[in-house]
Amino acid sequence: MLPAGMTPEAASSPHSLATASGLLLGTLAAAMALGALVGWALGSAGIGLLVGALLGIPLGVAVVYQVYGRSRSS
């Protein structure tokens, strides 16, 4: 229906907002699970879960930055 010049540029990107949010949430959940497991082994799963969440937020941002940073430099 639309000529090739009229298609949006964002559609050609293999990454989407759903991919970024999935990476962020997946990394956060993995860090929280690992934190809870370590906390449980040390006697307090709740504290481990909290530490995992606090460490998972910057870790998730770093993972998203790495994935999107690689795609732009290629």
Q: Mean pLDDT of all residues in the chain?
A: 83
Please check whether residue 65 lies inside any domain of the structure. yes
Specify if 57 maps to a domain: yes
70 lies in some domain: yes
**In this structure, is residue 2 part of a structural domain?**
no
Domain around 63: 32-74
pLDDT, one tens digit per residue, over 33-51 is 999 999 999 999 999 999 9
Residue 5 within a domain: no
Residues 6+ apart with CB under 8 A from 67: 15, 19, 20, 23
Residue spans of alpha helices (H) in the chain: 17-42, 45-73
pTM of the predicted model as reported, rounded to 2 decimal places: 0.73
Could you give the CA distance from residue 24 to residue 26 in angstroms, rounded to a whole number? 6
